[in-house]
DNA sequence: GTCTATAGACGGATAGAC
DNA sequence: GTCTATCCGTCTATAGAC
Protein backbone atom coordinates (compact mmCIF):
# COMPACT_ATOMS: atom_id res chain seq x y z
CA UNK A 1 0.00 0.00 0.00
CA UNK A 2 1.46 3.31 -1.11
CA UNK A 3 1.97 6.06 1.38
CA UNK A 4 1.60 8.93 -1.02
CA UNK A 5 -1.69 9.70 -2.66
CA UNK A 6 -2.01 8.97 -6.31
CA UNK A 7 -2.41 12.29 -8.03
CA UNK A 8 -3.89 10.74 -11.13
CA UNK A 9 -6.40 8.65 -9.26
CA UNK A 10 -10.07 9.25 -9.76
CA UNK A 11 -11.87 11.45 -7.29
CA UNK A 12 -13.59 8.48 -5.78
CA UNK A 13 -10.27 6.72 -5.32
CA UNK A 14 -8.63 9.79 -3.81
CA UNK A 15 -11.35 10.00 -1.20
CA UNK A 16 -10.98 6.34 -0.35
CA UNK A 17 -7.22 6.61 0.01
CA UNK A 18 -7.44 9.52 2.42
CA UNK A 19 -10.34 7.95 4.28
CA UNK A 20 -8.50 4.68 4.64
CA UNK A 21 -5.50 6.35 6.16
CA UNK A 22 -7.50 8.52 8.55
CA UNK A 23 -10.08 5.96 9.62
CA UNK A 24 -7.41 3.33 10.16
CA UNK A 25 -5.31 5.73 12.18
CA UNK A 26 -7.95 7.44 14.27
CA UNK A 27 -11.13 5.45 14.02
CA UNK A 28 -14.61 6.57 13.08
CA UNK A 29 -15.55 9.14 15.69
CA UNK A 30 -12.28 11.04 15.66
CA UNK A 31 -12.09 11.35 11.91
CA UNK A 32 -14.05 14.30 10.49
CA UNK A 33 -15.45 14.38 6.99
CA UNK A 34 -13.86 17.79 6.49
CA UNK A 35 -10.50 16.23 7.27
CA UNK A 36 -10.97 13.54 4.68
CA UNK A 37 -11.94 16.17 2.13
CA UNK A 38 -8.92 18.31 2.91
CA UNK A 39 -6.50 15.38 2.92
CA UNK A 40 -7.71 14.08 -0.39
CA UNK A 41 -7.90 17.53 -1.96
CA UNK A 42 -11.53 17.16 -2.91
CA UNK A 43 -14.60 19.17 -2.08
CA UNK A 44 -16.56 18.16 0.97
CA UNK A 45 -19.78 17.75 -0.96
CA UNK A 46 -18.18 15.12 -3.17
CA UNK A 47 -17.80 12.79 -0.25
CA UNK A 48 -21.55 12.56 0.04
CA UNK A 49 -21.92 12.45 -3.71
CA UNK A 50 -19.78 9.32 -4.09
CA UNK A 51 -20.51 7.65 -0.78
CA UNK A 52 -23.88 8.24 0.72
CA UNK A 53 -22.60 9.18 4.14
CA UNK A 54 -19.62 9.13 6.42
CA UNK A 55 -20.85 5.83 7.82
CA UNK A 56 -21.15 4.39 4.33
CA UNK A 57 -17.59 5.34 3.53
CA UNK A 58 -16.39 3.92 6.83
CA UNK A 59 -18.09 0.60 6.22
CA UNK A 60 -16.31 0.26 2.92
CA UNK A 61 -12.93 0.99 4.45
CA UNK A 62 -13.60 -1.35 7.34
CA UNK A 63 -14.54 -4.19 5.05
CA UNK A 64 -11.39 -3.62 3.02
CA UNK A 65 -9.25 -3.58 6.12
CA UNK A 66 -10.82 -6.71 7.52
CA UNK A 67 -10.57 -8.41 4.15
CA UNK A 68 -6.89 -7.59 4.00
CA UNK A 69 -6.62 -9.07 7.47
CA UNK A 70 -8.35 -12.26 6.47
CA UNK A 71 -6.61 -12.52 3.13
CA UNK A 72 -4.51 -15.63 3.03
CA UNK A 73 -5.96 -16.87 6.28
CA UNK A 74 -8.51 -19.13 4.66
CA UNK A 75 -6.11 -20.73 2.20
CA UNK A 76 -3.43 -21.10 4.83
CA UNK A 77 -5.63 -22.67 7.48
CA UNK A 78 -7.39 -24.83 4.94
CA UNK A 79 -4.24 -26.19 3.32
CA UNK A 80 -4.17 -29.87 4.18
CA UNK A 81 -0.58 -30.19 3.01
CA UNK A 82 0.79 -28.13 5.88
CA UNK A 83 1.01 -29.30 9.47
CA UNK A 84 0.16 -27.11 12.44
CA UNK A 85 3.64 -25.75 12.94
CA UNK A 86 4.14 -24.92 9.30
CA UNK A 87 0.90 -22.99 9.34
CA UNK A 88 1.91 -21.02 12.41
CA UNK A 89 5.23 -20.17 10.81
CA UNK A 90 3.60 -18.93 7.63
CA UNK A 91 1.04 -17.04 9.65
CA UNK A 92 3.65 -15.18 11.66
CA UNK A 93 5.64 -14.26 8.57
CA UNK A 94 2.64 -13.10 6.62
CA UNK A 95 1.06 -10.93 9.28
CA UNK A 96 4.18 -9.43 10.75
CA UNK A 97 5.24 -8.29 7.29
CA UNK A 98 1.75 -6.93 6.72
CA UNK A 99 1.77 -5.03 10.01
CA UNK A 100 5.24 -3.59 9.51
CA UNK A 101 3.96 -2.13 6.25
CA UNK A 102 0.66 -0.97 7.77
CA UNK A 103 1.45 -0.12 11.37
CA UNK A 104 -2.01 1.22 12.14
CA UNK A 105 -3.81 -1.86 10.89
CA UNK A 106 -3.36 -3.92 14.07
CA UNK A 107 -5.08 -1.36 16.27
CA UNK A 108 -7.86 -0.94 13.74
CA UNK A 109 -8.47 -4.68 13.68
CA UNK A 110 -8.44 -4.96 17.45
CA UNK A 111 -10.87 -2.07 17.73
CA UNK A 112 -13.17 -3.56 15.14
CA UNK A 113 -13.24 -6.92 16.87
CA UNK A 114 -13.83 -5.31 20.22
CA UNK A 115 -16.67 -3.14 18.97
CA UNK A 116 -18.27 -6.21 17.43
CA UNK A 117 -19.13 -7.14 21.01
CA UNK A 118 -21.91 -4.55 21.17
CA UNK A 119 -22.66 -3.97 17.62
CA UNK A 120 -22.67 -5.76 14.57
CA UNK A 121 -22.52 -8.42 12.01
CA UNK A 122 -18.82 -8.04 11.38
CA UNK A 123 -17.97 -11.38 12.86
CA UNK A 124 -20.55 -13.38 10.98
CA UNK A 125 -19.37 -16.67 9.62
CA UNK A 126 -17.28 -16.22 6.53
CA UNK A 127 -14.97 -18.05 4.19
CA UNK A 128 -12.40 -18.56 6.95
CA UNK A 129 -14.77 -20.62 9.09
CA UNK A 130 -14.45 -23.88 7.22
CA UNK A 131 -10.69 -23.70 6.98
CA UNK A 132 -10.37 -22.71 10.60
CA UNK A 133 -12.12 -25.94 11.48
CA UNK A 134 -9.47 -27.85 9.57
CA UNK A 135 -6.79 -26.17 11.64
CA UNK A 136 -8.63 -26.89 14.87
CA UNK A 137 -9.00 -30.51 13.88
CA UNK A 138 -5.28 -30.77 13.27
CA UNK A 139 -4.72 -29.54 16.78
CA UNK A 140 -7.20 -32.02 18.21
CA UNK A 141 -5.41 -34.76 16.38
CA UNK A 142 -2.07 -33.77 17.91
CA UNK A 143 -3.73 -33.97 21.30
CA UNK A 144 -5.21 -37.38 20.51
CA UNK A 145 -1.79 -38.61 19.46
CA UNK A 146 -0.38 -37.29 22.73
CA UNK A 147 2.09 -35.15 20.87
CA UNK A 148 0.92 -32.06 22.71
CA UNK A 149 -0.84 -31.46 26.00
CA UNK A 150 -4.64 -31.21 25.98
CA UNK A 151 -5.69 -27.63 25.42
CA UNK A 152 -8.72 -25.71 24.24
CA UNK A 153 -8.04 -24.48 20.68
CA UNK A 154 -9.24 -21.00 21.68
CA UNK A 155 -6.17 -20.69 23.89
CA UNK A 156 -3.94 -21.39 20.93
CA UNK A 157 -5.82 -18.93 18.75
CA UNK A 158 -5.53 -16.28 21.46
CA UNK A 159 -1.86 -16.92 21.96
CA UNK A 160 -0.95 -16.90 18.28
CA UNK A 161 -2.88 -13.73 17.60
CA UNK A 162 -1.68 -12.09 20.78
CA UNK A 163 1.97 -12.83 20.12
CA UNK A 164 1.68 -11.53 16.57
CA UNK A 165 -0.58 -8.50 16.98
CA UNK A 166 -0.12 -7.28 20.52
CA UNK A 167 3.43 -5.87 20.27
CA UNK A 168 2.25 -3.57 17.50
CA UNK A 169 -0.51 -2.02 19.57
CA UNK A 170 1.77 -1.42 22.53
CA UNK A 171 4.56 -0.17 20.32
CA UNK A 172 4.63 3.26 21.98
CA UNK A 173 5.16 1.66 25.37
CA UNK A 174 7.99 -0.53 24.16
CA UNK A 175 9.64 2.38 22.41
CA UNK A 176 9.51 4.67 25.41
CA UNK A 177 10.19 2.23 28.19
CA UNK A 178 12.68 -0.07 26.55
CA UNK A 179 14.47 2.71 24.69
CA UNK A 180 13.78 1.20 21.31
CA UNK A 181 13.70 3.47 18.29
CA UNK A 182 11.55 2.91 15.22
CA UNK A 183 14.23 1.03 13.33
CA UNK A 184 15.04 -1.25 16.23
CA UNK A 185 11.34 -1.86 16.74
CA UNK A 186 10.95 -3.13 13.20
CA UNK A 187 13.99 -5.35 13.64
CA UNK A 188 12.50 -6.76 16.80
CA UNK A 189 9.23 -7.52 15.04
CA UNK A 190 11.16 -9.29 12.29
CA UNK A 191 12.90 -11.37 14.93
CA UNK A 192 9.50 -12.45 16.14
CA UNK A 193 8.73 -14.04 12.79
CA UNK A 194 11.19 -16.74 13.74
CA UNK A 195 10.65 -16.70 17.47
CA UNK A 196 6.87 -17.04 17.60
CA UNK A 197 6.69 -20.47 15.91
CA UNK A 198 9.37 -21.76 18.27
CA UNK A 199 7.63 -20.30 21.29
CA UNK A 200 4.28 -21.80 20.37
CA UNK A 201 5.86 -25.19 19.82
CA UNK A 202 7.44 -25.03 23.26
CA UNK A 203 4.19 -23.97 24.84
CA UNK A 204 2.26 -26.80 23.27
CA UNK A 205 4.72 -29.59 23.87
CA UNK A 206 5.88 -28.93 27.40
CA UNK B 1 -14.98 -1.20 42.06
CA UNK B 2 -18.73 -1.48 42.54
CA UNK B 3 -21.05 -1.76 39.60
CA UNK B 4 -23.94 0.16 41.09
CA UNK B 5 -23.69 3.84 41.75
CA UNK B 6 -23.47 4.93 45.33
CA UNK B 7 -26.60 6.89 46.07
CA UNK B 8 -25.08 8.61 49.04
CA UNK B 9 -21.93 9.63 47.24
CA UNK B 10 -21.15 13.29 46.84
CA UNK B 11 -22.07 14.97 43.58
CA UNK B 12 -18.47 15.07 42.52
CA UNK B 13 -18.10 11.38 43.23
CA UNK B 14 -21.29 10.50 41.40
CA UNK B 15 -20.04 12.27 38.30
CA UNK B 16 -16.73 10.47 38.48
CA UNK B 17 -18.36 7.07 38.85
CA UNK B 18 -20.57 7.55 35.81
CA UNK B 19 -17.74 9.11 33.83
CA UNK B 20 -15.43 6.24 34.65
CA UNK B 21 -17.88 3.67 33.44
CA UNK B 22 -18.73 5.51 30.23
CA UNK B 23 -15.23 6.67 29.29
CA UNK B 24 -13.79 3.24 29.97
CA UNK B 25 -16.50 1.59 27.93
CA UNK B 26 -16.74 3.93 24.98
CA UNK B 27 -13.73 6.21 25.01
CA UNK B 28 -13.56 9.97 24.90
CA UNK B 29 -15.16 10.92 21.61
CA UNK B 30 -18.15 8.64 21.88
CA UNK B 31 -19.03 9.64 25.41
CA UNK B 32 -21.18 12.78 25.63
CA UNK B 33 -21.26 15.04 28.65
CA UNK B 34 -25.05 14.85 28.61
CA UNK B 35 -24.78 11.09 29.00
CA UNK B 36 -22.53 11.43 32.00
CA UNK B 37 -24.94 13.91 33.55
CA UNK B 38 -27.93 11.68 32.95
CA UNK B 39 -26.21 8.52 34.14
CA UNK B 40 -25.05 10.12 37.35
CA UNK B 41 -28.35 11.91 37.92
CA UNK B 42 -26.75 15.33 38.13
CA UNK B 43 -27.28 18.51 36.22
CA UNK B 44 -25.16 19.01 33.14
CA UNK B 45 -23.79 22.31 34.37
CA UNK B 46 -22.35 20.67 37.46
CA UNK B 47 -19.94 18.69 35.36
CA UNK B 48 -18.22 21.89 34.34
CA UNK B 49 -18.54 23.28 37.81
CA UNK B 50 -16.59 20.44 39.41
CA UNK B 51 -14.29 19.58 36.56
CA UNK B 52 -13.30 22.37 34.24
CA UNK B 53 -14.14 20.54 31.05
CA UNK B 54 -14.92 17.19 29.53
CA UNK B 55 -11.24 16.79 28.76
CA UNK B 56 -10.31 17.60 32.33
CA UNK B 57 -12.68 14.95 33.63
CA UNK B 58 -11.38 12.45 31.11
CA UNK B 59 -7.79 13.05 32.14
CA UNK B 60 -8.66 12.30 35.74
CA UNK B 61 -10.43 9.08 34.83
CA UNK B 62 -7.60 8.06 32.54
CA UNK B 63 -5.00 8.61 35.22
CA UNK B 64 -7.06 6.59 37.67
CA UNK B 65 -7.45 3.76 35.18
CA UNK B 66 -3.76 3.74 34.37
CA UNK B 67 -2.91 3.92 38.03
CA UNK B 68 -5.12 0.94 38.74
CA UNK B 69 -3.30 -0.81 35.92
CA UNK B 70 0.09 -0.01 37.38
CA UNK B 71 -0.96 -0.67 40.94
CA UNK B 72 0.89 -3.59 42.31
CA UNK B 73 3.20 -3.63 39.33
CA UNK B 74 5.87 -1.56 41.02
CA UNK B 75 5.91 -3.53 44.26
CA UNK B 76 5.72 -6.83 42.44
CA UNK B 77 8.50 -6.11 39.96
CA UNK B 78 10.62 -4.50 42.63
CA UNK B 79 10.32 -7.31 45.15
CA UNK B 80 13.79 -8.80 45.38
CA UNK B 81 12.47 -11.81 47.31
CA UNK B 82 10.63 -13.19 44.28
CA UNK B 83 12.28 -14.82 41.30
CA UNK B 84 11.20 -14.16 37.71
CA UNK B 85 8.73 -17.01 37.54
CA UNK B 86 7.09 -16.16 40.82
CA UNK B 87 6.61 -12.63 39.60
CA UNK B 88 5.03 -13.77 36.37
CA UNK B 89 2.67 -16.04 38.27
CA UNK B 90 1.57 -13.26 40.60
CA UNK B 91 1.22 -10.91 37.66
CA UNK B 92 -1.06 -13.24 35.76
CA UNK B 93 -3.25 -13.84 38.80
CA UNK B 94 -3.50 -10.19 39.71
CA UNK B 95 -4.37 -8.83 36.28
CA UNK B 96 -6.64 -11.58 35.09
CA UNK B 97 -8.74 -11.17 38.24
CA UNK B 98 -8.72 -7.42 37.70
CA UNK B 99 -9.81 -7.77 34.08
CA UNK B 100 -12.54 -10.28 34.83
CA UNK B 101 -13.97 -7.73 37.23
CA UNK B 102 -13.49 -4.80 34.84
CA UNK B 103 -13.87 -6.25 31.36
CA UNK B 104 -13.59 -2.91 29.60
CA UNK B 105 -10.36 -1.94 31.28
CA UNK B 106 -8.07 -3.93 28.95
CA UNK B 107 -9.30 -2.17 25.83
CA UNK B 108 -9.09 1.19 27.54
CA UNK B 109 -5.49 0.54 28.54
CA UNK B 110 -4.53 -0.65 25.09
CA UNK B 111 -6.16 2.38 23.51
CA UNK B 112 -4.43 4.73 25.91
CA UNK B 113 -1.04 3.21 25.24
CA UNK B 114 -1.61 3.29 21.51
CA UNK B 115 -2.72 6.92 21.50
CA UNK B 116 0.35 7.81 23.49
CA UNK B 117 2.21 7.25 20.24
CA UNK B 118 0.98 10.53 18.81
CA UNK B 119 0.08 12.45 21.82
CA UNK B 120 1.18 12.76 25.16
CA UNK B 121 3.05 12.46 28.35
CA UNK B 122 1.11 9.47 29.58
CA UNK B 123 4.08 7.17 29.30
CA UNK B 124 6.52 9.38 31.12
CA UNK B 125 8.79 7.62 33.55
CA UNK B 126 7.01 6.78 36.76
CA UNK B 127 7.34 4.78 39.94
CA UNK B 128 7.33 1.51 38.00
CA UNK B 129 10.50 2.36 36.11
CA UNK B 130 12.95 1.53 38.87
CA UNK B 131 11.27 -1.72 39.77
CA UNK B 132 10.98 -2.72 36.15
CA UNK B 133 14.72 -2.44 35.91
CA UNK B 134 15.05 -4.90 38.77
CA UNK B 135 12.90 -7.37 36.87
CA UNK B 136 14.89 -6.85 33.67
CA UNK B 137 18.11 -7.43 35.56
CA UNK B 138 16.77 -10.68 36.94
CA UNK B 139 16.12 -11.79 33.39
CA UNK B 140 19.58 -10.77 32.26
CA UNK B 141 21.02 -12.77 35.10
CA UNK B 142 19.12 -15.88 34.05
CA UNK B 143 20.59 -15.42 30.59
CA UNK B 144 24.09 -14.95 32.00
CA UNK B 145 23.68 -18.15 34.01
CA UNK B 146 22.55 -19.91 30.83
CA UNK B 147 19.32 -20.92 32.49
CA UNK B 148 17.33 -19.39 29.66
CA UNK B 149 18.09 -18.57 26.05
CA UNK B 150 19.34 -15.04 25.27
CA UNK B 151 16.40 -12.75 24.58
CA UNK B 152 15.62 -9.07 24.56
CA UNK B 153 13.56 -8.26 27.67
CA UNK B 154 11.08 -6.33 25.52
CA UNK B 155 10.04 -9.64 23.94
CA UNK B 156 9.25 -11.03 27.35
CA UNK B 157 7.34 -7.92 28.33
CA UNK B 158 5.35 -8.09 25.10
CA UNK B 159 4.60 -11.75 25.53
CA UNK B 160 3.53 -11.50 29.14
CA UNK B 161 1.28 -8.55 28.50
CA UNK B 162 -0.05 -10.02 25.28
CA UNK B 163 -0.92 -13.37 26.82
CA UNK B 164 -2.66 -11.66 29.73
CA UNK B 165 -4.45 -8.76 28.05
CA UNK B 166 -5.06 -9.79 24.47
CA UNK B 167 -7.72 -12.46 25.00
CA UNK B 168 -9.88 -9.86 26.73
CA UNK B 169 -9.82 -7.45 23.80
CA UNK B 170 -10.67 -10.17 21.29
CA UNK B 171 -13.31 -11.64 23.55
CA UNK B 172 -16.10 -11.08 21.02
CA UNK B 173 -14.19 -13.03 18.39
CA UNK B 174 -13.55 -15.96 20.72
CA UNK B 175 -17.16 -16.00 21.85
CA UNK B 176 -18.59 -16.01 18.33
CA UNK B 177 -16.11 -18.20 16.55
CA UNK B 178 -15.31 -20.71 19.23
CA UNK B 179 -18.88 -20.91 20.55
CA UNK B 180 -17.88 -19.81 24.02
CA UNK B 181 -20.50 -18.15 26.19
CA UNK B 182 -19.75 -15.51 28.81
CA UNK B 183 -19.46 -17.99 31.65
CA UNK B 184 -17.14 -20.29 29.74
CA UNK B 185 -15.07 -17.29 28.71
CA UNK B 186 -14.46 -16.34 32.32
CA UNK B 187 -13.55 -19.94 33.13
CA UNK B 188 -11.09 -19.93 30.27
CA UNK B 189 -9.49 -16.73 31.51
CA UNK B 190 -9.16 -18.27 34.97
CA UNK B 191 -7.45 -21.27 33.41
CA UNK B 192 -4.93 -18.88 31.93
CA UNK B 193 -3.84 -17.76 35.38
CA UNK B 194 -2.18 -21.13 35.73
CA UNK B 195 -1.28 -21.69 32.10
CA UNK B 196 0.51 -18.44 31.35
CA UNK B 197 3.35 -18.90 33.86
CA UNK B 198 3.93 -22.40 32.53
CA UNK B 199 3.87 -21.21 28.94
CA UNK B 200 6.34 -18.43 29.58
CA UNK B 201 8.68 -20.80 31.37
CA UNK B 202 8.59 -23.15 28.40
CA UNK B 203 9.20 -20.32 25.97
CA UNK B 204 12.18 -19.05 27.89
CA UNK B 205 13.87 -22.35 28.57
CA UNK B 206 13.52 -24.17 25.29
C1' DG C 1 -24.01 24.27 45.08
C1' DT C 2 -27.63 23.59 41.89
C1' DC C 3 -30.63 24.88 38.42
C1' DT C 4 -32.53 26.83 33.57
C1' DA C 5 -31.54 28.74 29.49
C1' DT C 6 -28.70 29.63 25.88
C1' DA C 7 -24.50 30.93 23.61
C1' DG C 8 -21.34 29.42 20.31
C1' DA C 9 -18.74 26.08 17.76
C1' DC C 10 -18.66 21.95 15.13
C1' DG C 11 -19.85 18.48 11.97
C1' DG C 12 -22.75 15.88 8.63
C1' DA C 13 -25.45 16.54 4.96
C1' DT C 14 -27.79 18.84 0.97
C1' DA C 15 -29.75 22.46 -2.29
C1' DG C 16 -28.86 24.46 -6.29
C1' DA C 17 -25.80 26.99 -9.59
C1' DC C 18 -22.43 25.90 -13.00
C1' DG D 1 -19.08 15.86 -11.63
C1' DT D 2 -17.81 19.74 -9.03
C1' DC D 3 -18.44 23.83 -6.52
C1' DT D 4 -20.40 27.45 -2.91
C1' DA D 5 -23.37 28.38 0.50
C1' DT D 6 -26.06 26.96 4.03
C1' DC D 7 -29.11 24.22 6.84
C1' DC D 8 -29.72 21.97 11.06
C1' DG D 9 -28.91 18.93 14.68
C1' DT D 10 -25.58 18.00 18.36
C1' DC D 11 -22.35 19.09 21.68
C1' DT D 12 -19.44 21.59 25.09
C1' DA D 13 -19.42 25.26 27.94
C1' DT D 14 -21.11 29.27 30.50
C1' DA D 15 -24.13 33.17 32.16
C1' DG D 16 -27.00 34.24 35.58
C1' DA D 17 -31.10 33.35 38.70
C1' DC D 18 -32.02 31.03 42.97
What DSSP state is assigned to residue B179? T
Look at residue B185 in the predicted model and tell me its pLDDT.
Answer: 98
Chain B window 8-37, residues with Cβ within 7 A of nucleic strand D: 31-34
Min Cα–Cα distance to chain A from B157, Å: 9
In chain B, the residue whose alpha carbon lies closest to the alpha carbon of A168 is B114
Q: What is the pLDDT of residue A158?
A: 98
- Cβ count near B111 (within 10 Å): 21
Residue of chain A minimizing CA distance to B121: A176
Q: How confident is the model at residue B192 (pLDDT cuts 50, 70, 90)?
A: very high
Contact B120/A at CB under 8 A: no
Q: B67-70 long-range contacts, Cβ below 8 Å, gap at least 24? A: B68/B98, B68/B105, B69/B105, B69/B109, B70/B126, B70/B127, B70/B128
* Domains, chain A, ordered by start: 11-62 (1.10.10.60), 71-205 (1.10.357)
Query: Bigger pLDDT: A2 or B150?
Result: B150
Q: Region A128-151: what's the mean pLDDT? A: 94
Determine contact: A150 vs chain B, CB below 8 A. no
pLDDT digit string, tens, across residues B67-120: 999 988 888 999 999 999 999 999 999 999 999 999 999 999 999 999 999 876
Residue B137: is its pLDDT beyond 50? yes
pLDDT above 60 (res B4) = no
Per-residue pLDDT averaged across B147-161, rounded?
97
A43 touches strand D (CB under 7 A): yes
For A191-195, what is the mean pLDDT? 98
Mean local confidence (pLDDT), B132-138: 94
User: What is the nearest nucleotide to B12, using C1' and CA?
Assistant: C1
Which pLDDT belongs to residue A71?
84
Report yes or no: B188 at the A interface, CB cutoff 8 Å: yes
> What's the whole-number mean pLDDT along residues A170-192?
96
Judged against a pLDDT cut of 50, whether residue A10 lies above it is answered with: yes
Cβ distance B166 to A170 less than 8 Å, yes or no, reads no
Per-residue pLDDT at A4? 46
**What's the pTM?**
0.95
Q: Are A128 and A88 in contact (CB under 8 A)?
A: no
Amino acid sequence: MPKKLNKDASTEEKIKQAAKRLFTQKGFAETKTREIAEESGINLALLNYYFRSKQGLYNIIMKENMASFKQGLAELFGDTQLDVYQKIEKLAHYYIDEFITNPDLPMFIVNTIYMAGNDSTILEEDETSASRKIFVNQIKELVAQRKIKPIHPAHILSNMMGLIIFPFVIGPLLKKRANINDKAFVEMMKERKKLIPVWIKSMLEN
